[in-house]
Structure 1
Amino acid sequence: MRKTTLHTFHIPVLGLGYSIDTPVKVARFGISSVVSVVEDGLIEKMREYHCAQSDEEYIAITEKDDDYRARRITAYLDLLGRIVDRQMKELLVQPFTKDADIVKYFEMLPIDSPVRKHYEVMLISSEKETLQELLRKEIRPGAIDVNIMSKIDNLTHGSPEFSDALSALRGIANSQLHSSIVFSAGYNPRLYNYIENFPCFFPDTNGVLSKKVILKVSDFRSALIQGKLLAKKGIWISEFRIESGLNCGGHAFATEGMLLGPILEEFKQKRSELATELFELCNIANMVKGNPVFPQQPPLKITVQGGIGTSNEDLFLMEYYGVDGTGWGSPFLLVPEVTNVDDHTLQQLATAKKEDYFLSAASPLGIPFQNFRNSTAEEQRKERIAKGRPGSPCYKKFLASDTEFTTTPICTASRQYQDLKIKQLKEKNLPEAEFQVEFDHITSKDCLCEGLSVSVFLKDNIPVPHKMTAVTICPGPNLAYFSGVFSLREMVDHIYGRWNVLNSLPRPNMFVNEAQLYIDYLKKLIGKSVDTMNAKQSKYLNTFKTNLIEGIEYYKGLLPSFKRETMQYIEVLKQQLNAQQAMLSALQIA
């Protein structure tokens, strides 16, 4: 049974530009989504575009203006809020006729939603108008949530509050939105300290939060540590958003072999204890500050995302682990109504094979990055290498952090860095095979600032700055099981089990898929360490292997709990888990 009267899924942040205006497309249907605010140049272009679409006056905020990054973010978020408000006003007065948004709103809700049931009663009632007025009062927009990737926090000018992450936080805090900020990619002390400057993240005299904080985490330990750090500042975490370490899109933050099921089990067992501890710390901190306190413990949601592919999996996560909702990201890249994928890339995704999705070293952050072999950015990267000109022009510098060759940080994906690094490599006079390994590692880095932004320009016919038209896209490996182009209605119906959009490729359970990704990842780690293995590496790899074996054993014990699946499904699942255990047992670590 789903826990909410409205939707039980959200659409996570997708790249820089793929979900940049998704709220304009889905919020009026009660669906929450997350916007990236990394790239303020993109944000300003999108504000100009949507002002034109909405007949609003556009007044540019240029890089010459004071605090331009924060102001651009505030102005764009406020524009999104106004657009969604207008959409809601229009929807609320629509007649209940076929194809009207108000009808679509109710028909997309989960079947067991009380509001959906009220709608179905209205359809067969003789008092339709009375019931329709009651239904209108139940309509709520989806949230316009905003993501800050904590690790992207360069300071290119001025005092510390003008760093990328702090400026983004200020821009969000100064907006009129009543939604959530999603902190991802780990702990940033400067960012977490800065949040104390904004009253909107603290309870008012009624214990109500104007803006909420969501933490994206990979395990319980991370949730506890970061949750306590913020609670001691008086900041309540309204939601822990658990993401699979490897079965996700974008940057992949692998655990030490801890699988999603055991991680969710720990949250299930310790959730109440966690909420109580954070509540006490939070209220004590606010009392010391002289701030209002929460009269009672606010809700603490637990949600999960990464690799979910069927309605049964979605329901299992809610029914067995008690999570409050789920995130469905990569499948929405195949839904043009929702995300900004240009036509060429969309067709490549719609017809892709499983092997087209891979975990790469493309990110200048040095974090494994989900990638797509058929993207125009990957094609361009290889062409530049073939021409003897590897690397990219670096115009935006959001990921510029390397000072090996320069005083001013430069990006490892830049032509400048790769040229210097390759010259250094040539001076080593390595054997050809060793040289090629090092060369491939240097040139694997790609420009994400441009590549993850440009698709929306191509789709909306917006002029592309510097003619940088190569598209990077970073779906999770789960997208291999989805082929084609779908409508919003079709994808939502798939999530709720009313329709099936999976392709014919045999798809193991999400837990088996993630376990296999971790086994493959471990094999690569062992391969890289085989010639240089030391005691520390050996201990790490053996711990990784042990965690995987224990995780798979946990899943075998979980089999009787898959109540919605057939006996045949469970038997195949058991066989797959046994095969994975045997595979791990055969892995030799020095």
Structure 2
Amino acid sequence: MNYQDLIQNMMPHTFHIPVLGLGYSIDTPIKVAKYGISSVASIVDDELIERMRVHYARQRGEDHTPITKSEHDYRSRRITAYLDLMHRIVTEEFEDLKTQPFGTGSDIDRYFSLLPETSELKHRYEAMLAMPDNAEKTAESSALRALIVPGSIDVNIMSKVDKMNSDAEGNPLDDIHTDALAALRGFALSKLSSSIILSAGMNPHLYSYLEAFTDFFPDSEGNFRKKVILKVSDYRSALIQAKFLAKKGIWISEFRIESGLNCGGHAFATEGNLLGPVLEEFKNRRDEMLTELLALYESALDSRGIALMRVPRVRISVQGGIGTAAENAFLLEHYGIEATGWGSPFLLVPEVTNVDETTLNELATADSDAYYVSDSSPLGVLFNNFRNSTAEKQRLERIAKGRPGSPCHKRYLVSNTEFTKDPICTASRQYQQLKIKQLKALDPQPADLQMQIDAVTEKLCLCDGLSTAALIRNHLIKPRENSAVAICPGPNLAWFSGTYSLDEMVGHIYGKIDLLSKNLRPNMFINELNLYVDYLKKDIERHTTALSDKKAKYFSKFRSNLLEGISYYKKLIPEITNQTVAYRQEMMVQLEALEGKLS
């Protein structure tokens, strides 16, 4: 299938807006779905979700009675109620858009103007506008109204953010009330017909729970009311997870490939498996994967008495570090994927995401040094951090005052039982004070004591920090609430300066305008490779004094994968024909320089 066919088979855009933190895209579907743009909201933080639901319900004059924590299954019910509210809002606004007059600069005109130039719908729209006012024009305008569809209201769960919960009396609740399962249930019971994106690795407990809901199985016509998307960073893990689910009769409708390091949020560094070679493997083994999964899936459906009416579709998309229209088009054309994800750049689009004014101004003017991969996450996973955030400044202020750590209210990331019977969060003040006390009591004190203490105090409260901006932007922050904002943009955002409208950012994605025209930026593959080389170098430095055989083998494999990736890119460069000769020559120079660093 060529690029033109892909465009015509995608309805209506070839990009989506991935999940952005806990709060940055919490209501993005309300803002963009009516224009046919799909986006993803996190359903981890039910407290934020409930406050946003009450906020929007109050605006609309609907019942906004809070769903309190004292109520049964409150987490799931909050999520269902909010998703149903978003569904109502988007449906109503889209139906209103469809009735608006053409050619007056209304939202329906904006819908078509945002489409890529290769869109058949857009061509028909422009031809319709040029028609004389007659019955043919009226018929064509009616046909166009019937053809447009809203963007999808998709949701995201970090699979392993799945703590056990207790009732008001402290009694452990059943397994179905863990955080991840309750969130899944909230989506499954909603009125949405959309997708759930499962990220951050495999959780068999959660994956098995998908079987409990008929919406994830095909109906009599072979359609899914709710689809499952896996966010992955390599082919092997994608296949393992998809086979596990296929054996249970759950189909993966999309593999959403994300760069291991050149992305926003949590970064799951692979063993040097670079994005280009990963995409190549998916491209070459796509049919093989489909055949293997389909055999398992058919058998599972047959055991359930479900007839497979037709072979279900599998989409492949990619995200993480895409920055130009040329890169976007090359990914679609060369790797035969259906869509790309553009996340961090939309943090600079105030009408789309919830970024408070202070943080927005910092993002709009920050240079590359402000973006870094950190150990800030209590999950123990690499985290893309922003040095200029108010949460990072607050963290340092608390350390200076001798009170490191944060109050722990939401407890989504509690996991440590080193000092307590019940799990606590490593970003909490309780844990950090206990850990520092333990380290200082060591006799003799290690030479790297301060380094160990710094590693403890680097942890940052993400439960509050990643949702605060949404509260500030919607005027929901309470007087005594912590107003420090954490944000997790990908390093690619350093190349964007200023703030933009939705039309400008979409225009940039499709090549109508160039928002980076004043900034010379390396290719996205080179940017990711740089991140991996730096990551490997720092990891080796951390283990120079005590290098185990296992770690030495890991470093050797990592380096080998990077060198193989460089070799792949050298062969790929001549095929990047939508860039200039000078651009391709510079890519080769940069690859050779990075190759030298690894030798």
TM over 0.5: yes
1:496 equivalenced with 2:510 (yes/no): yes
Superposition deviation, residue 429 in structure 1? 4.5
Where does residue 138 of structure 1 map in the other structure?
A: 147
Query: Aligned match of 2:236 in 206, 221, 236?
Result: 221
Residues 444-523 of structure 1 aligned to structure 2 (within 5 Å): 444-464=458-478, 466-502=480-516, 504-523=518-537
Partner of 1:52: 58
Deviation, structure 1 residue 466: 4.7
Tell me how far apart the structure 1 counterparts of residues 449 and 104 of structure 2 sit (CA, whole Å): 64
CA offset digits 1:157-177 (Å, max 9, x no partner): 111100000000111100000
Per-residue CA shift, 1:475-495, capped at 9, x if unaligned?
Answer: 000000001000000000000
Match of 1:293 in 2: 307
Give CA-to-partner distance per residue, 1:556-586, whole Å, 9 cap, x none: 001111111111111111111111111111x
Q: 1:34 aligns with which of 15, 40, 45?
A: 40
Q: Could you tell me how far 1:503 is from its partner in structure 2?
A: 6.2
Contact 1:454 1:464 in 2 (8 A): no
**Matched-pair contact (CA < 8 Å) for 2:245–2:251:** yes
Aligned to 1:250: 265
**Paired residue secondary structure (1:137):** helix
Q: Deviations over 1:224-245 (max 9, x none)?
A: 0000000000001000000000
TM-superposition CA deviations, 1:51-110 (whole Å, max 9, x none): 122222212110010000000000000000000010011101101133311000000001
Within the alignment, does 1:393 sit opposite 2:415 as a pair?
A: no
Q: Distance in 2 between matches of 1:430 and 1:10?
A: 55
Aligned-residue offset at 1:465: 7.7
CA distance, structure 2, for counterparts of residue 482 and residue 433 of structure 1: 42
> 3-state DSSP class of the match of 1:410?
coil
Query: Counterpart amino acid of 1:380?
Result: Q
User: Within the alignment, does 1:558 sit opposite 2:572 as a pair?
Assistant: yes
Aligned equivalent of 1:234:
249
Normalised to the residue count of structure 1, the TM-score between the two structures is 0.98
| Structure 2 residue 85 is the aligned partner of structure 1 residue 70 | no
Residue 463 of structure 1: how far off its partner (Å): 2.8
- Identify the residue that residue 588 of structure 1 maps to in structure 2: none
Q: Distance in 1 between matches of 2:373 and 2:478?
A: 28
The answer to whether the 8 A contact 1:262-1:554 is kept is yes
Residue identity matched to 2:175: P
Distance apart, 1:289 and its partner CA:
1.9
* 1:431 Cα deviation after fit: 5.6
How big is the alpha-carbon RMSD for the aligned residues of Structure 1 and Structure 2?
1.1
State the AA in 1 paired with 2:472: L
Please list every run of 5 or more consecutive structure 2 residues that lacks an aligned counterpart in the other structure.
167-172
Give secondary structure in 1 for the equivalent of 2:267.
coil
Q: What CA deviation, in whole Å up to 9, does each residue of 1:384-428 have, x standing for no partner?
A: 000000000000100000000000000000000000000001011
- Report if aligned partners of 2:362, 2:388 keep a CA contact under 8 Å in 1: yes
* Counterpart AA for 1:575: V
1:324 to 338, 341, 362: 338
1:40-189 paired onto structure 2 within 5 Å: 40-126=46-132, 127=134, 128-157=137-166, 158-189=173-204
C-alpha distance in 2, partners of 1:465/1:146? 30
Q: Is the 8 A contact 2:11 2:149 kept in 1?
A: no
Distance in 1 between residues matched to 2:183 and 2:225, nearest whole Å:
17
Query: For 2:208 and 2:446, how far apart are their aligned partners in 1?
Result: 49
Partner Cα distance (2:67, 2:121) in 1: 42
Shift in Å, 1:123: 2.1
For residue 129 of structure 1, give the secondary structure of its aligned residue in structure 2: helix
- Counterparts of 2:550 and 2:446 in 1: how far apart (Å)? 29
Alpha-carbon shift at residue 135 of structure 1 (Å)? 1.1
Asked whether the 8 Å contact 1:5–1:115 carries over to 2, the reply is: no
Corresponding residue for residue 207 of structure 2: 192
Paired with 1:430 and 1:441, the residues of 2 have a C-alpha distance of 19
Tell me which residue corresponds to 1:344.
358
* Structure 1 pair 393–27 and aligned structure 2 pair: CA distance change class (3 A): same
Contact 1:227–1:278, Cα closer than 8 Å, also in 2: yes
8 A Cα contact 2:477 2:483, kept in partner: no
TM-superposed CA distance for 1:550, in Å, is 0.5
How big is each residue's C-alpha offset from its partner over 1:7-46, in whole Å with a ceiling of 9 and x where there is no partner? 0000000000000000000000000000101010000000
The corresponding residue for 1:268 is 283
Distance between the aligned counterparts of 1:464 and 1:8, measured in 2? Answer: 39
Match of 1:202 among 208, 214, 217: 217
Instruction: Measure the CA separation in 2 of the matches of 1:363 and 1:430.
Output: 30
Q: What corresponds to 2:323 in structure 1?
A: 309
CA apart distance, 1:468 = 1.1
CA contact (8 A) 2:346 2:505 kept: yes
Q: Deviations over 1:433-467 (max 9, x none)?
A: 51111011000001000000000111111133851
- % same residue: 57
Shift of 1:156: 1.8
In 2, Cα distance between equivalents of 1:351 and 1:247 = 20
Does structure 2 retain, via aligned residues, the 8 Å contact 1:71–1:171? yes
Q: Structure 2 CA distance, aligned partners of 1:433 and 1:467?
A: 39
- Confirm or deny that 1:359 pairs with 2:361: no
CA contact (8 A) 1:458 1:464 kept: no
Q: Residue type of the partner of 1:483?
A: S
Contact 1:482 1:503 in 2 (8 A): no
Aligned residues: 584
* One-letter amino acid of the counterpart of residue 554, structure 1: Y
Q: Report the Cα offset of residue 288 of structure 1.
A: 0.8
- State how far apart, in whole Å, the 2-side matches of 1:5 and 1:209 are: 17
SS of 1:379's partner is helix
